[in-house]
Copies of this chain bind each other. A is one copy, B any other.
Amino acid sequence: MHYFVTGCAGFIGSSLVDRLLQAGHQVTGYDNFSTGQTRFLSTAQNSPQFTLVDGDVLDLDTLTSSMAGVEFVFHLAANADVRFGTQHPRRDLEQNTIATHNVLEAMRAHGVRRIAFSSTGSIYGEAEIIPTPENAPFPIQTSLYGASKLAAEGLIEAYCEGFGFQGFIFRFVSILGERYTHGHVFDFYKQLLDHPDHLTVLGDGQQRKSYLYIQDCLEAIFVTIEKSTDKVNRYNLGTNEYCQVKNSIGWICDYLGLNPEIQFQGGERGWIGDNPFIFLDTAKIRGLGWQPKLTIQQGIVQTVKYLQANQWVLEARA
């Protein structure tokens, strides 16, 4: 099978590329390297089955010409930083919504009709039902990031109906593990490296967060694509547990053998649009026989180990 992966040099994208190549597939990777890392593709680039295109998802011509011969698209390219949504209010629209439309149009130009998309639990806004199932009550958006991903989901669904596409939509909790490059664990580890005796934390530390380990995430994606046959397949991906930011801090500090003074900035949100609690009902994906191998705690420790062994990541994303 010939797969196309947008955002192929990112955390999730590059991990996916490696898995696809290991399984013997042909992969065309597409990235503009705005946040992607060439080093994440060092294994892939040794494979004759891998083609890298340095291109932007907003460049429809390059995107389209790169997709010739492709059979399945993983669309992972995105502006993934919800935190700065209100400072650059057009970025999410462009990088997440318009970009997805371009991907769909490029696919249509080549008759490619199967797409998997990385959405987010943020689209549930302040969910009324927790844990939140896929068919939760019609949500109200609370971030530009969530709104832009919801819009992308809608476009994909409309292409499924109007153009005979098959769509796999994955609503992620925060993913972590090897090649993780942003989020709490990254920020905390970076701070503790700079000043092991104190840590500044946005919010009150009581924000509850869900995490999923990258390899568990990829396994869930593969299982879903293999087993789900609907026109539109929407799946929450997460574990059956959550943690509080202060738990995460505890695990990181324990692992590192540190006991920093912790300054909580206060308030129940880290930033405007930060959702105090995303916790997804994953009964649907579990119904396919999938379950995560790592707990949140194990995933966080695995992440810190990776950051310790790959400190260049901290500089690259500084």
Residues of A within 8 A of B (CB): 85-86, 89-90, 93, 97-98, 101, 104-105, 108, 125, 128, 134-144, 146-148, 150-151, 153-155, 157-159, 161-163, 232, 234, 272-273
Structural contact, A147 and B137, CB atoms closer than 8 A: no
What residue of chain B has the Cβ atom nearest to residue A132's Cβ? B138
Structural contact, A161 and B142, CB atoms closer than 8 A: yes
Q: How far is the CA of A104 from the CA of B89 in the complex (A)?
A: 10
Q: Given A135-B137, A161-B143, A161-B272, is A154 in contact with B151 using a C-beta cutoff of 8 Å? A: yes
Structural contact, A140 and B98, CB atoms closer than 8 A: no
Taking the nearest CB of chain B, how far is it from the CB of A164, in angstroms? 10
Structural contact, B137 and A161, CB atoms closer than 8 A: no
Name the contact of A157 in the complex, choosing from B89, B142, B157, B162 (C-beta under 8 A): B142
Q: Which chain B positions have C-beta within 8 A of A128?
A: 135
Structural contact, A101 and B105, CB atoms closer than 8 A: no
Q: Which chain B positions have C-beta within 8 A of A157?
A: 125, 140-142, 147
Q: Which chain B positions have C-beta within 8 A of A135?
A: 128, 137-138
Q: How far is the CA of A147 from the CA of B232 in the complex (A)?
A: 14
Subset of 15 A-B contacts with CB under 8 Å: A89-B104, A97-B97, A135-B137, A138-B139, A140-B157, A142-B157, A143-B158, A143-B162, A144-B155, A144-B158, A146-B154, A147-B151, A150-B150, A151-B155, A158-B273
